[in-house]
Structure 1
């Protein structure tokens, strides 16, 4: 996606640092004890997977990861498989072969989105031109498709970050429109995190820190207003989760917010993805809390809702720095990829995050040496590379094409 705000499923956040100033609202999260598992009775009406997470063994200790290059990935795949760099698998695939497979050349890969989204392109273009009505109409048309609604709100919020004149006109002309309020709340949260993402070396300057916390504090009233205007919509709660991450909200308060969120939509993927960030060791939890949360959500969700992706996200965020092909091929990681593959196969083709999941599958399947299913995913997503993990690279197109070439070569080298 073009936007990289908090609601992006696979956006990467700067790790916590003791040198980051604390929020004046919640000065030091360590002062608040963890919510003990026996207090689940506070949430008797919710299914088990939405109760406060408790520690469970996670597969690997956390270390700071480093980016992997395609050739490194190949070297980790090659031993024991008869494939070595310089032999077959690492050779660029010819343009003729790419065309034979029905794939697109490098120069035709779109870096803006993970998949075609003409409807979103249309409303974002209209908003940037000053016309808020197409976006308002699209939001109204989403009805109670909450995942889709959250995605549309995120796109419009991304447009408002650059210029919000159209949004303020919308709010002025329709002060009771819950869509406008939700976009405003999300745009404020995105703006705050954009300030933090711009910190050099992972440290915010005093000016950045002041701006970050000031905007997050102001966003509270926008979030409250959005919740009041549509009490059914979980989208403002997703924004509130990210506000809580930034303001170092203690565990007890996050539990209460989470209970309210899943009461509206128990399997909202964007909400779960955001909450997983809160419970990760990077922010206010631990690897055990993150894996516990991910496992519970994945096991409880019906097929096709893509919540099985949470376990892989937890693994990715807590993987060791020296994770090579062997780490990707560990039994539990292989099983998690299988579950996600089944989940994606059962998903509604119109799910707003299905394409992003297919990009993740393509990457993991190549890393695991499973070329045929990887190539199947590449065929489904080819032409758009604006998604994790390719966007982790300075050159997403080159990264994508390198892994695609690996899948093609490996699938024809056996």
Structure 2
């Protein structure tokens, strides 16, 4: 009897998946059109120019962000330009040769040096050696929080004490009190993986989200704390699970403030989709995959695999199948899974 019931359930699940899965593809970007870490319209031309050895567009882009205090954009662009320079550095060398004291070139140089040091087996020693590069970038533009975000990442790798880290944090928030990148760097330091705990990480994230400006990505810090706890794999209490679900709910509310296919919240939506899938909230996860559109991001998928795009697509397909499997044969998929519910 038990075997018969299990077989019957399997047959019903298969029938539901076959009936509903094709319809649930509506509104999802085709797999071949999904891009990993696609640059926005401002960064794209600078990367194309850098590919042929021209640094001027990157210099102009970063100068614009600095002069207009676009610190969030500046941080994102610095990270992406440094990542590009990781394997194709000649254009940055030419830029520094012409303008060795340029604040924009120096902050990219500092980010690149820290990134390389983090990837080295001799990480602590190499990180200590690049400290002066971060100091130079901070001195070149005293009002820029990005060198201080780099300093926070640097401090985590050099085993800085809480007191030293708090001093850097004060410098960072003095320049931009709601800077997302600096908050993420602090959250990593406070995580159980590094020098804090899940509780400390969540406490910091929830307080920051509470104080955040409307629409700020800082409101997604709790879902980052949730991700860190889920990735750890430890047994959790019901109270901890409730905290994770509340973090996801807050991130869903934030996601609604942006339009479908907006590249700005793409990383937050990728992270949120992962957390929702892990919690078995399939309809809500599929809704986020619709909102993501073509903008897959390396984080969080690279935390689990060397092929983040493939993992993104597999997880998206898995969410679609689970929503289909939970829908009665004569029913319709839940509202959260439908394209009409994917608006802001």
Instruction: Provide the TM-score with structure 1 as the length reference.
Output: 0.67
Evaluate the alpha carbon distance shift between residue 186 and residue 328 of structure 1 in structure 2; reply closer, same or farther with a 3 A threshold. farther
Evaluate the alpha carbon distance shift between residue 221 and residue 375 of structure 1 in structure 2; reply closer, same or farther with a 3 A threshold. same
The structure 2 residue matched to 1:400, chosen from 286, 302, 312, is 312
Whether the 8 Å contact between 2:21 and 2:320 is mirrored in structure 1 is no
Quick one: distance in 2 between partners of 1:328 and 1:86? 34
Partner of 1:135: 58
Compute the displacement of 1:297 (Å): 1.0
Partner of 1:280: 191
Compute the displacement of 1:262 (Å): 0.3
Partner of 1:119: 42
Equivalences, count:
315
Quick one: distance in 1 between partners of 2:186 and 2:128? 19
Alignment of 1:223-372 (within 5 A): 223-319=134-230, 321=233, 330-346=241-257, 353-372=264-283
Partner of 1:202: none
1:192 and 2:104 matched: no
Partner of 2:13: 87
- RMSD across aligned C-alpha pairs, in angstroms? 3.2
Whether the 8 Å contact between 2:227 and 2:275 is mirrored in structure 1 is no
Quick one: distance in 2 between partners of 1:85 and 1:395? 33
Evaluate the alpha carbon distance shift between residue 300 and residue 188 of structure 1 in structure 2; reply closer, same or farther with a 3 A threshold. same
Whether the 8 Å contact between 1:278 and 1:285 is mirrored in structure 2 is yes
Quick one: distance in 2 between partners of 1:179 and 1:373? 40
Compute the displacement of 1:84 (Å): 6.6
Evaluate the alpha carbon distance shift between residue 289 and residue 104 of structure 1 in structure 2; reply closer, same or farther with a 3 A threshold. closer
Whether the 8 Å contact between 2:47 and 2:81 is mirrored in structure 1 is yes
Quick one: distance in 2 between partners of 1:307 and 1:102? 28
Quick one: distance in 2 between partners of 1:120 and 1:93? 42
Evaluate the alpha carbon distance shift between residue 93 and residue 285 of structure 1 in structure 2; reply closer, same or farther with a 3 A threshold. farther
398-407 or 214-223, which deviates more: 398-407
Whether the 8 Å contact between 1:308 and 1:343 is mirrored in structure 2 is yes
The structure 2 residue matched to 1:172, chosen from 88, 97, 110, is 97
Whether the 8 Å contact between 1:89 and 1:409 is mirrored in structure 2 is no
Query: What does the per-residue CA deviation read over 1:80-126, in whole Å, with 9 as the maximum and x for residues that have no partner?
Result: xx987981499589996466x1323333332x31x552432321232
Quick one: distance in 1 between partners of 2:260 and 2:248? 19
Alignment of 1:207-226 (within 5 A): 208-209=121-122, 212-226=123-137
Higher relative contact order (CA 8 A, sep 6+): 1
Compute the displacement of 1:259 (Å): 0.5
Query: What does the per-residue CA deviation read over 1:273-296, in whole Å, with 9 as the maximum and x for residues that have no partner?
Result: 111111122222233322222122
Evaluate the alpha carbon distance shift between residue 329 and residue 282 of structure 1 in structure 2; reply closer, same or farther with a 3 A threshold. closer
Quick one: distance in 2 between partners of 1:287 and 1:184? 33
Quick one: distance in 1 between partners of 2:106 and 2:19? 49
Evaluate the alpha carbon distance shift between residue 260 and residue 327 of structure 1 in structure 2; reply closer, same or farther with a 3 A threshold. same
Evaluate the alpha carbon distance shift between residue 405 and residue 229 of structure 1 in structure 2; reply closer, same or farther with a 3 A threshold. same
Compute the displacement of 1:407 (Å): 3.4
Instruction: Provide the TM-score with structure 2 as the length reference.
Output: 0.80
Runs (5+) with no aligned partner, structure 1: 1-81, 196-207
Compute the displacement of 1:334 (Å): 1.7
Whether the 8 Å contact between 1:328 and 1:367 is mirrored in structure 2 is no
Compute the displacement of 1:172 (Å): 2.0
